[in-house]
Chains A and B, each alone.
Chain A
Amino acid sequence: MEDLMSDAHDTSRTGTVPVTVLTGFLGAGKTTLLNHILSAEHGRKYAVLVNEFGELGVDNDLVVDADEEVFETNNGCICCTVRGDLIRILGNLLRRRGRFDGIIVETTGLADPAPVAQTFFVDENLREKARLDAVVTVVDAFNIIQTLEESPEATSQLAFADVIILNKTDLADAERRAEIVARIRQINAVAEIHEAQHGGVKLTDVLDRGGFDLKRALTTMPDFLDNNEHSHEEGIVSISLSLKGRLDQQRFNAWIGAILQEQGADILRSKGILYFEGAEQRFAFQAVHMMADGDFIGPIREGEATDSRLVFIGRNLNRPQLRRGFESCIAEGSVSA
């Protein structure tokens, strides 16, 4: 598992093309949102990978047909599923540098977002040329509560999201919308939520978020409250942890490696902002199931609170155990609160 963090010091991800993954349940308004994005005057070149060709009403951008072809890869100790069609198609599209400002991958309503996200960790060539910018999940405000009751895929799409677009808000009153947001927060405590009608979102809310690489997460991560509420959707919950005192990087790597190894199947996403002993920069950590990645993301300012924060989104999570484990990563001699 040591390999998981081997790229921790790699800050050379600039120059890579951002990839936005668009998920959302059938009828939630993905295609409308996509049309909105593509027809907007943004002066940028996007390639769009779609499953259902012909639904899009625009032709000024490069639209490529992609089947959601998932296969299981066997990388040493890790078995995970990835999208081979993305490896192939993006590999070809990205041979020419500077050809696109961004790539949008649309998934079908029933798709599990994990294979898409994992693809960007697994394929070496893709890692060099592209970065997963954000998983954007479109949610239908009118139907979402019922959909969550009926479909585990919908829950999983919310759990994976970096950005959630609550669409069709004209069909739900304020009370209903508050109920929906509370429900979403149980599943995913850290995603940004934007309300929209007819897919009309600000492009800056959706594209080029830096959501996945967490550079923006510092400003968007909510205050971490120890809430012990439980979600009923497939038992998926968010658990957020906060620690004062610098962490020992080696201990953290060993601990998180073991956690992801043992519980990676249940942990859909994990993210964190970490302050390591001796480091002059904050460290952003993120993982999709067992695949982890991390980066130092900028200098610690004077007077900045150096509380390390970590979020787990998944099933069967044991909060006390995770908290104890996280606490055991505090560096020797560091003041703990």
Chain B
Amino acid sequence: MSDELIVQRGAERRFESPIVQVAAARDGESFAALTADGELILIPHNALRNAEAWTVLQPHEGGLCLAPDSVPNAYLSGGEDGRLVRTTTDGTMEILHEGRRWIECVASTPTHLVFSSGKKMELRKAEGTETLKTLEHPSTVTGIVFDAKGKRLAASHYNGVSMWFVQAKVDTVRPLEWKGSHIGLAIHPSGEALVTSMQENDLHGWRLADGHNMRMSGYPKQVRSMSFTRNGRWLATAGADAVVLWPFFGGGPMGKAPTELARLPGLFVSAVAANPKENIVAAGYEDGTVVLAELSDQGASDGRVLPLCAGQVTARGTVTSLAFTPQGGAIIFGTEDGVLGTVDLSSAS
């Protein structure tokens, strides 16, 4: 019998194609996952321990991106079919946009949603059909984030990031420039900094107050996943055989060494997610291992590590994506081999 926590307090199910992305709805009442084949799996909170009760829908032919919707109980997904689809937890699907090009990035706030195809990013009102503005970039958009207040919007692309104001009457871009290919981005919870991942296994950052450049390097692999901790003190990152955390306090990260959590020698972290309520970071590894690691505000190395499932016990494939509910009480992960897992972290019932 397996003593993996996922067996005792969660559920898992294997799908035909890789899990591209996982997400939690804004109301915290459900999770969803998107597969490369374009299936959307809906997991209501009461089915966290029952994979048979998960609903499988087919909003796309080829799934590319997934995010919680502005609407509290729905998701937005984009695909190779050029569609942006809203899926409500009752299973209703609505096509919000249909074009010729892939929909590669999607994001939302309670009041707005945004998606990109090629160089264009389209901002809409939360209801989903009214386009407020279409913003052009010098090359294909590789990542989109809103700041925590939902007032600013940033898109990564070649040679930097473009920052826009959601409510601006006249759209003037704030360009943050750094040569090279930026493949994704994260924004500090208080809007102090913006960090991108680069093609060459580095991170680049800008202090938003003055545009000062930061470089965070030394990764053996490309950094495919980043997550700021709830208070913004640390930026947790994948790309090494431990969770690498950069300090964003006391003048950091410039001139500061990063700290590490949950090192598994020789096994690379492929996805990270910071818990929205506690000083806990979830990490997924190349062999499908998923752990929770505790950190303190000062540092981390002595923090406890709780394995949720172990690659040595069951091979699940490289973890591609992780998400907590907004309340932090449950977690979902997906892997390249199509395994989708959930664990209920709330006190034992």
Binding site for B on A (CB under 8 A): 53, 64-65, 67, 69, 71-75, 84-85, 87-89, 92, 95-96, 122-125
> Which residues 137-191 in B have Cβ within 8 Å of A in the complex?
139-140, 142, 158-159, 179-181, 183
Q: How far is the CA of A76 from the CA of B37 in the complex (A)?
A: 37
- B139 neighbours in A (Cβ, 8 Å): 67, 69, 71, 84
Q: How far is the CA of A124 from the CA of B183 in the complex (A)?
A: 14
10 additional contacts (CB under 8 A) given A84-B199, A95-B20, A124-B221: A64-B80, A65-B100, A71-B199, A73-B180, A73-B199, A84-B158, A87-B181, A87-B199, A88-B142, A123-B199
- Given the interface contacts A73-B199, A73-B200, A84-B158, does A95 sit within 8 Å of B142 by beta carbon? no
Q: How far is the CA of A67 from the CA of B104 in the complex (A)?
A: 14
- The reply to whether A96 and B158 contact each other, CB–CB distance below 8 Å, is no
- Given the interface contacts A69-B140, A71-B180, A74-B180, does A92 sit within 8 Å of B64 by beta carbon? yes
- The reply to whether B20 and A72 contact each other, CB–CB distance below 8 Å, is no
- B158 neighbours in A (Cβ, 8 Å): 69, 71, 84
B222 → chain A closest CB, angstroms:
7
- Given the interface contacts A53-B100, A67-B140, A72-B179, does A95 sit within 8 Å of B17 by beta carbon? yes
- In chain B, what residue has the closest Cβ to A123? B199
Binding site for A on B (CB under 8 A): 17-18, 20, 36-37, 62, 64, 80, 100-102, 104, 118-119, 139-140, 142, 158-159, 179-181, 183, 199-200, 221-222, 336
Q: How far is the CA of A71 from the CA of B100 in the complex (A)?
A: 25
Cross-chain contact of A96 among B37, B101, B142, B200 (Cβ < 8 A): B37
A93 → chain B closest CB, angstroms:
8
- The reply to whether B18 and A71 contact each other, CB–CB distance below 8 Å, is no
Q: How far is the CA of A322 from the CA of B146 in the complex (A)?
A: 56
Q: How far is the CA of A58 from the CA of B200 in the complex (A)?
A: 38
8 closest A-B pairs (Cβ-Cβ)? A95-B36, A84-B181, A71-B181, A95-B18, A71-B158, A96-B36, A96-B17, A69-B139
Q: How far is the CA of A130 from the CA of B118 in the complex (A)?
A: 23
- B100 neighbours in A (Cβ, 8 Å): 53, 65
- A71 neighbours in B (Cβ, 8 Å): 139, 158-159, 180-181, 199
- The reply to whether B336 and A95 contact each other, CB–CB distance below 8 Å, is yes
Cross-chain contact of A124 among B62, B80, B222 (Cβ < 8 A): B222
B305 → chain A closest CB, angstroms:
28
